[in-house]
Each structure stands twice: as C-alpha cells, then as structure tokens.
Amino acid sequence: MTTSGQYNHLQPLHLTDGNGLELDLLPFGATISAIRLDGQQITLGYVAPELFLHDSFYLGASIGRFANRIANGRCRLNGQPLTLNVNNGGHCLHGGTGGFHRADWQVLQQAKNSAELYYCAADGEQGFPGRLEVWQQISLQDAAVSMRFRARADKDTLINLTNHCYFNLNTDGSSIENHQLQLNAGHYLPTDSSSIPTGRLQAVAGSAFDFLRPRTIADALAQGDAQLQLASGFDHCFVTAAQPYNALHQQARLHSAQSGLTLTVYSTQPGIQLYSGNFLAAPFAPRQGLCLEAQNWPDAPNQSGFPSALLLAGHWYVQEIIYSFQ
C-alpha cells in the first residue's frame, strides 16, 4: 500500500478487482476517468487526462459541496441568509464554479483494489459556511465499485455529495436510448423551466417517468411529456427511499441488450438524478451517455418537506454508492 505525497493530480490511479473490473481515478476532482469490464470501457472519458481540466460535463467527477441545484444561489441556514456561487442560469449547480470537481484531492493511500482521497474545503468556499473535511474511499470487489463518503465540518453547513459518471453499456458507443432502465421509484420531482423542483412529488404511474418495470430510454422519451420538453430529455430526481433515510437500497438497474451488460446502482441516498446526456457535445454526442446520480433532492435547503441537507458542526456525514456490474 502506498501513501500520500507521491501523486500528480492528472496521473490516474489504476484500481482492479483482479477479475476483469478496472477503474482509473484522477486526484483532480476525485474523477473516475474510466471504468472497464473485461476490457470494455463503460463510462465516457477523454483520450488524455489533461482534457479533464477543461471538461464542462462533470465526467466522472466527485460533486460537492452540494450536488445538483440550489435556486438562485440563495438559501437560509439557521435563519441566516447564504449567498452561494452561481454558475447555471443564475443557480448554484454542483457546488458552484469552484466545486469539488475542480479541486485537487489528496491521495491518502492506494492499494491494488482501493484508494482513499481527501479534500478540505475552506470556510466560505463558494459561499458555503464551515471548514469541511471530506474523505472518499473507492474500492473494487466482485465486479462492483463502492464509493464511501465521510465528511465533518467545524460549523453547521450544507452537504450533498455524489459521483457523476456517464454510463454507456453498448460495445459500439452508440446512443443510450436503446438501454433498458428500471428505477425503484414511485415518484419523481417535477421542475420548472430552469430545472428547479416545484416542491411537489409526482406519481410516475402511466407517465414517461414510469420505470418501475424495465423500459427503453427511447420508449420513455417518445411519450413527449411536457417535463421532458422543458429539460430536452430527462434531468430529474426520482424518489427511491422512504423515511428513515440512509439505508442502503437498490435504486436503479440499467441494461444494454446490445452488449448484454447490466449495471445496478445501490446507495444510502433518498434520490437518484437521471440525466439522459441531453446537452453532451463534442467530442461526444447528445445521449451518448447517461448519469444515475445518487443524491439528496435538488434545492433541498429551500424546500420544506425535502430531506434535510444540514450537517451539524462536529457531526459525521456518511453516504455510500455502489455500481455493480454483471
């Protein structure tokens, strides 16, 4: 096992389970730059690590302090107003311009099948209060990638961490519209025209958002739902867990009939954001990859009734995400 102090932020760490699953991990952004199974790459990435420096799609990145959007970059914490960095139509997206996806994470240790990374966000970084320490453990075993996030702050703060891999299980890299998706979610969060949740939960039954049984992405998109028109496809959070939260549960199952590969996502988070790659652009194409981002609900600090994103000073934030392949 190696320890910190020996790493270039653009030099990938190579992990393997020793049985066909491989993962490349950049300290820059704690970015999963590639996942391969039996030699087949199943995530979108760039041909050279330095291209991740200019990435605008969050490919494989670790997202924080707050995944997804906070409306107008404003909210209240303990009755006091917060003004956050805005970077997406006047909203704070994925922690702001200088979110965790742009940070150089420290490699604490690396073994053949695991690595632990660390980042310390300064008090006031991107407008978020508190000095926040984050540890991320990534490990590979039995054809599964496990990500465990732990964090602790010296002030009450907001937190919502996730991973932003784009998956394509086809062997030829063709559109993910032919993928079959199943989501263990009876409700989703409708949004306004700028992708901010309206605050209500909408039942999926009979709609384009009904993935309770496996269906192709193309079939769902073909329903022409008004919500899909607003986002040019899927960019919505699905409700996958009832209270109490933080229990590990299966959220999603993605399958490519073309390759025969299946991805199952488990997490301790109460929601999963389905993004169908609507705005991917060169060197990629729209819908060349899709994201299944296990996370808290978007805009939770502004929405009464949404799961709390508050982390109390000195308390621990602990969440887990698992990508299992077969």
Catalytic residue set: 164, 293
In angstroms, rounded to a whole number, what is the distance separating the alpha carbons of residues 55 and 46?
Answer: 9
Instruction: State the Rg of the chain over Cα.
Output: 18
CA atoms 212, 148, 316, 88: torsion sign: negative
Residue whose entry in the numeric block shows the structure tokens 């190696």: 2
Q: Which of 65, 115, 26 is nearest to 317 (CA)?
A: 65
Report the 3 state secondary structure along 163-224.
ECCEECCCCCCCCHHHCEEEECCCEECCECCCCCECCCCEECCCCCCCCCCCEEHHHHHCCC
